[in-house]
Amino acid sequence: MKDIGLKFFECPLEEKLQYACKSGSAASEGYGSRMLVKDDQVLDWRDYFDHHTLPLSRKNPCRWPHHPPSYRETVQKYSEQMKLLAQRLLTVISESIGLPSSYIQEVIGEPYQNITISYYPPCPQPELTLGLQAHSDMGAITLLIQDEVGGLQVLKDGQWITVQPLPDAIVVNLGDQTQILTNGAYKSVEHRAIVNALRARLSVATFYDPSKQTRICPAPELATKDSPPRYREVIYGDYVSAWYTKGPEGKRNIDRLAVDS
Ligand SMILES: O=C(O)CCC(=O)C(=O)O
Ligand SMILES: [Fe+2]
């Protein structure tokens, strides 16, 4: 995936623009260069290509790059493997807190999977900007691979910690819906990407999310008298719309659903 991604981003701009995603529409498929659509926001120092891979009704490989020739098949195979891994991890998470093994997967129902390749060009003044602003992923679980350059940081105890790139490692980032479903037993991770002056960086994030109609609330088995629900119920599509309208600003979207907020 990293190889084909790099080959695409190294193409001339005119070629990349043939796959440009629709402007003005959040999370549309294709090549783009900003995460948010509002004009008054600081833009991320990032190019990306977003692929809609699941459910199959959303998948249209004609919209994916044609070069290198192995591009589409690679994305297809990777999508299948990442789906299996995400499901395995959600099973383990459910079991680890006493829920039936398929609990989270059943709530999510038919998964929505997007694969986003991010390319962060070298930045002459890296201290003035970010590759990707601080956020938590809005869905259930994200599986991320990165090249050896490094730049992903996670917020821990108020400090930004760089996730050292390891060859062949997959970084598991839990998303906000997993935090809600587990009533806070698992927390989504606040993260960002920094850039550097010398080297371009590439990462591939595979998001595994509910459909827009899905109702998400803390699992009733976990929200008891002694430990009441900590989050209000939300329809996932409403959560996504709010995220895109207001911006991520760290974890403010999930914080707004907290019962004591
Ligand atoms: O490039 C990275 O390491 C982070 C990407 C990311 O967080 C995202 O696409 O949501
Ligand atoms: Fe992210």
Cis? peptide before 100, omega within 30° of 0: no
Q: Which atom of ligand 1 is the closest one to the Cα of 144?
A: 3
pLDDT band at 41 (very low <50, low <70, confident <90, very high): low
Which H or E run contains 254? Answer: helix 252-255
ipTM of the complex: 0.99
Residue 234 CA to ligand 1 center (angstroms) comes to 24
Encoded tokens for 159: 């400090």
Closest to 209 (Cα-Cα) out of 118, 255, 142: 142
Cβ of 132 closer than 6 Å to ligand 1, yes or no, is: yes
pLDDT for the residue 62: 93
How far lies 116's CA from each of 24, 48, 127, 150, 204, in Å? Answer: 18, 7, 25, 17, 6
pLDDT band at 249 (very low <50, low <70, confident <90, very high): confident
Q: Which atom of ligand 1 is the closest one to the Cα of 142?
A: 10
Cβ of 116 closer than 6 Å to ligand 1, yes or no, is: yes
| Residue 56 Rama label (left phi>0; alpha psi -120 to 50; beta) | alpha
Encoded tokens for 168: 């062949």
Q: From the CA of 150, which ligand is nearest? A: 1
Higher-pLDDT residue of 32, 187: 187
Domains of the chain in start order, with CATH, are: 2-255 (2.60.120.330)
Per cent of the chain over pLDDT 70 is 94
Secondary structure (H, E, C), 21-43: CCCCCCCCCEEECCCCCCCCCCC
Residue 184 CA to ligand 1 center (angstroms) comes to 22
How far lies 12's CA from each of 9, 17, 27, 63, in Å? Answer: 8, 9, 23, 18
Q: From the CA of 205, which ligand is nearest? A: 1
Task: Judge whether residue 35 has pLDDT over 60.
Answer: no
User: Distance between CA atoms of 89 and 10, rounded to whole angstroms?
Assistant: 34
Cis? peptide before 220, omega within 30° of 0: no
Output the residue whose Cα is nearest ligand 1's atom 5: 205
Per cent of the chain over pLDDT 90 is 78
Residue 203 CA to ligand 1 center (angstroms) comes to 7
pLDDT for the residue 226: 81
pLDDT tens track for 123-179: 888 888 888 999 999 999 999 999 999 999 999 999 999 999 998 999 999 999 999
Cβ of 203 closer than 6 Å to ligand 1, yes or no, is: yes
pLDDT for the residue 39: 56
Interhelix angle for 71-96 vs 2-9, to 10°? 130
Closest to 96 (Cα-Cα) out of 208, 219, 216: 219
Q: Name the pTM for this structure.
A: 0.94
pLDDT tens track for 182-231: 999 999 999 999 999 999 999 999 999 999 999 999 999 997 778 899 99
Contact present, 152 and 203 (Cβ < 8 Å): yes
Task: Judge whether residue 181 has pLDDT over 70.
Answer: yes
Q: Which atom of ligand 1 is the closest one to the Cα of 116?
A: 9
Residue 48 CA to ligand 1 center (angstroms) comes to 10
pLDDT tens track for 42-66: 678 899 999 999 999 999 999 999 9
Task: Judge whether residue 36 has pLDDT over 60.
Answer: no
How far lies 33's CA from each of 80, 87, 94, 101, in Å? Answer: 26, 30, 36, 39
Encoded tokens for 84: 């299996």
Average of pLDDT values for 63-75? 95
Contact present, 31 and 17 (Cβ < 8 Å): yes
Q: What is the DSSP string of 51-97?
A: EEEESGGG--GGGS---STTHHHHHHHHHHHHHHHHHHHHHHHHHHT
Cβ of 137 closer than 6 Å to ligand 1, yes or no, is: yes
Average of pLDDT values for 2-20? 94
